[in-house]
């Protein structure tokens, strides 16, 4: 019996489950070491026992899966920076000003007031350390570059956690990247020292020179930003309107270098190097030249996670398809995922990683059925049919994740893809050709540049037209993690039924559908059986009262709170709501809630169970407590911080519970 007869796909799945287990339960390292030692010994014993048998031994399979599960847990533990003694989090102090030294490793998309960077620390005050932080650098300071060493005078703060219900938790996302703290750099608080001329520095310089080679074309801002995104992975230069248009049309993937772009380049390089096949060992030489060019392209983009993932994935898929075996392609996908997760187990929590592999696996699973849909043998007709079928297969594969993460479903994605994919392919290939011609044949490059500009402008205009159809996008869809799992069960059983066309395969799909329906009923029942009052963490006061599936929002500025309201409705799976003006007194079940705003007016003889302080009321809190006698006082984020501190001290003196939403997040009363 040979170990490699065991499918790498299920071993990779076991490794992934181990990563997820360690992430959620965070077991002690000693327990992990004991588990992995036991798993290793059991695997050896099971292997020796299985060698003596004629047939495959189930016990060895179970032992191998358990070993990979433990390896996944151990790998995730050692890739968690905070587990190391010299991580900066072990040296944090409460002082307002500390000296932080580090190197810029990544430049992020800037916000309205700040440039954003990921910095790898080397020193915290006088202590050597390591770890990554998020740096918000005021735009009045100089723009920084990758590889630059900087000294920051400021205070490290925890990254902002989600403070309202059903809000995207940016802090949790950063934690998966081993980033748990941030610092805000005001004017003059950043000192640049030197440039570390490492690989990233030289790659960035080359990339900047290549980007500058397009300056003579005088492209408009949108055209240049699309070109930089497609050729160099610089998506942070694209304006918000363009991103919104591509997202609503269901083709946002064209702006982020992914398997699609790598596939286009692969076929382009394959065509150029096809004459090599006539020579001895030409096929294998051609394959490695193509993969070398793809990795060179990845280097020029700066090797971001998304590009590295796509090139690694496509490299293994290419090796699999090189042998003309479909099972090789599936195993290649699994091997590429396993290698990437060994390098960084946190990739499994990355949205791009999940979407990439879901799309590729779905395309491969549906591939045997493509030929049945060809109604013509003409190459052009087959090409466009393939675009539709591949787009549809990929969309099916990523649909549950899209609904879960982005809460919207573009209905016109096929109409958009059938034009954007060919145009995007021409833009990508022509852009690569121009990169070479910019340095060897400038006059021809300038001529082709006009064609490139026309193609990009046409693509942008077409997408803008598609995005104008409001009915073409279903937005604010409620979708839970349980629904994602059940949706993938339905898809997998459906594909299995298509392969087998047997009753038991159809039965399994029907059971999965039934479970999905039961989950919807359970969610609806849970929402109707729970009532709650929420004081949101907002600069413009917002409260809500939920009874059954009905929600009433109270605010003087519902436009400002539109996103918060939308998130809350989606989280509750309800569209039954009203928005009313904020009142000074509310009743919720048997509780009376007093809202004291900037006017500071309230009835002295009014007894209230809860008091909400908003918009910096000028009041004597001691007097209010004596008159109203509340059970608890809540101060929302519309108040000044110094007032919140004063109120908190007063409540401590009076033994009254105090909740500040700016510090603790939203307040829930059930």
Is the sign of the CA dihedral 653, 656, 657, 662 positive or negative? negative
CA gap 115, 123 in Å, rounded = 22
Identify the pLDDT of residue 633: 95
Identify the pLDDT of residue 646: 94
Q: Does domain 88-196 have CATH number 1.10.600.10?
A: no
> Can you give the residue ranges of every domain in the chain?
3-78, 88-196, 204-474, 481-528, 532-669
Structure tokens at 329: 């392609």
CA gap 621, 657 in Å, rounded = 13
Q: Are strands 190-195 and 132-138 parallel, antiparallel or unpaired?
A: unpaired
Q: Which has the closest alpha carbon to 189: 82, 99, 80, 296? A: 99
Identify the pLDDT of residue 317: 67
Q: Which has the closest alpha carbon to 544: 518, 514, 564, 516? A: 564
Identify the pLDDT of residue 1: 37
Give strand pairing partners of 132: 120, 179
Identify the pLDDT of residue 2: 41
Task: Give pTM, 2 decimals.
Answer: 0.83
CA 403 vs CA 396, 468, 501: distances in Å:
11, 21, 29
Identify the pLDDT of residue 4: 41
Contacts of 593 (CB under 8 A, 6+ apart): 533, 585, 586, 587, 608, 609, 610, 611, 612
Structure tokens at 666: 């939203």
Q: Strand runs (DSSP E) across 434-526, as ranges?
A: 473-474
Q: What is the mean pLDDT of each run of 10 residues along the chain (670 residues)?
A: 58 94 92 93 85 70 91 94 92 84 87 89 92 92 86 90 91 89 89 78 79 83 85 79 84 74 76 77 80 83 72 74 62 85 90 84 83 72 75 85 87 81 84 84 85 90 86 83 93 89 87 92 87 94 91 91 92 89 88 88 78 92 89 94 93 94 92
CA 501 vs CA 369, 509, 531: distances in Å:
13, 12, 47
Identify the pLDDT of residue 427: 86
- Exposed, middle or buried: residue 382 (CB in 10 Å: 0-12, 13-18, 19+)? middle
H or E element that contains 658:
strand 658-660
Structure tokens at 315: 């490299």
Assign 3-state DSSP to the chain and report helix, strand, coil percentages, each to 5: 60, 15, 25
């Amino acid at each position: 019996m040979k170990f490699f007869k065991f499918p790498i796909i299920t071993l990779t799945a076991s490794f992934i489950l181990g990563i997820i287990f360690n992430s959620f339960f965070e077991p002690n390292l000693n327990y992990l070491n004991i588990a992995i030692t036991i798993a290793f010994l059991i695997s050896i014993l099971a292997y020796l026992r299985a060698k003596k048998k004629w047939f495959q031994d189930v016990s060895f399979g179970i032992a191998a899966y358990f070993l990979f599960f433990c390896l996944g847990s151990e790998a995730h533990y050692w890739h968690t920076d905070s587990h190391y003694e010299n991580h900066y989090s072990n040296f944090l102090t409460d002082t307002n000003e500390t000296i932080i030294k580090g190197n810029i490793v990544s430049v992020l998309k800037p916000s309205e007031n700040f440039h954003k960077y990921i910095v790898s620390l080397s020193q915290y005050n006088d202590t050597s350390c390591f770890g990554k932080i998020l740096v918000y650098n005021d735009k009045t300071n100089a723009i920084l570059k990758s590889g630059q060493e900087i000294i920051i005078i400021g205070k490290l703060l925890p990254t902002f956690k989600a403070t309202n219900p059903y809000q995207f938790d940016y802090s949790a996302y950063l934690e998966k990247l081993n980033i748990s703290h941030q610092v805000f750099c005001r004017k003059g608080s950043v000192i640049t020292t030197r440039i570390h001329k490492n690989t990233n520095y030289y790659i960035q310089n080359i990339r900047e020179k290549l980007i500058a080679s397009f300056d003579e074309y005088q492209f408009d801002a949108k055209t240049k930003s699309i070109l930089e995104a497609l050729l160099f992975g610089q998506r942070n230069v694209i304006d918000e309107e363009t991103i919104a248009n591509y997202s609503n049309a269901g083709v946002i993937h064209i702006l982020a270098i992914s398997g699609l772009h790598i596939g286009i380049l692969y076929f382009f390089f394959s065509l150029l190097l096809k004459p090599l096949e006539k020579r001895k060992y030409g096929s294998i030489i051609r394959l490695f030249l193509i993969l070398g060019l793809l990795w060179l392209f990845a280097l020029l983009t700066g090797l971001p996670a998304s590009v590295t993932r796509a090139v690694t994935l496509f490299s293994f898929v290419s090796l699999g398809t090189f042998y003309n075996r479909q099972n090789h392609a599936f195993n290649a996908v699994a091997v590429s995922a396993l290698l990437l997760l060994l390098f960084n187990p946190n990739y499994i929590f990355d949205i791009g990683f999940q979407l990439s592999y879901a799309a590729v696996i779905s395309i491969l699973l549906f591939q045997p059925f493509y030929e049945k849909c060809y109604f013509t043998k003409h190459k052009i007709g087959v090409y466009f049919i393939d675009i539709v079928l591949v787009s549809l297969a990929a969309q099916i594969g990523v649909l549950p994740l899209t609904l879960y993460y982005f809460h919207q479903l573009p209905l016109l994605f096929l109409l958009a893809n059938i034009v954007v994919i060919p145009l995007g392919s021409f833009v990508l290939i022509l852009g690569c050709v121009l990169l070479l011609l910019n340095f060897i044949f400038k006059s021809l490059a300038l001529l082709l540049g006009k064609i490139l500009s026309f193609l990009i402008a046409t693509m942008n205009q077409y997408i803008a037209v598609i995005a104008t159809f409001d009915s073409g996008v279903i937005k604010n869809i409620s979708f839970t993690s349980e629904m994602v799992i059940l949706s993938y069960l339905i898809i997998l059983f459906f594909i299995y039924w298509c392969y087998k066309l047997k009753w038991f395969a159809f039965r399994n799909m029907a059971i999965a559908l039934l479970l999905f329906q039961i989950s919807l009923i359970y969610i609806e029942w849970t929402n109707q059986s729970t009532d709650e009052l929420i004081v949101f963490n907002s600069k413009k006061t917002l409260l809500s009262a939920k009874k059954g599936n009905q929600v009433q929002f109270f605010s003087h500025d519902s436009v400002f709170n539109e996103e918060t309201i939308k998130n809350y409705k989606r989280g509750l799976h309800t569209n039954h709501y009203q928005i009313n003006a904020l009142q000074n007194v509310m009743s919720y079940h048997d509780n009376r809630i007093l809202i004291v705003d900037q006017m500071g007016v309230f009835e002295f003889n009014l007894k209230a169970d809860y008091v909400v302080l908003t918009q910096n009321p000028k009041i004597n809190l001691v007097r209010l407590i004596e008159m109203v006698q509340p059970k608890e006082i809540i101060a929302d984020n519309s108040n000044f911080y110094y007032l919140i501190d004063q109120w908190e001290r007063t409540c401590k003196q009076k033994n009254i519970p105090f909740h500040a939403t700016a510090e603790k997040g939203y307040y829930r009363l059930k």
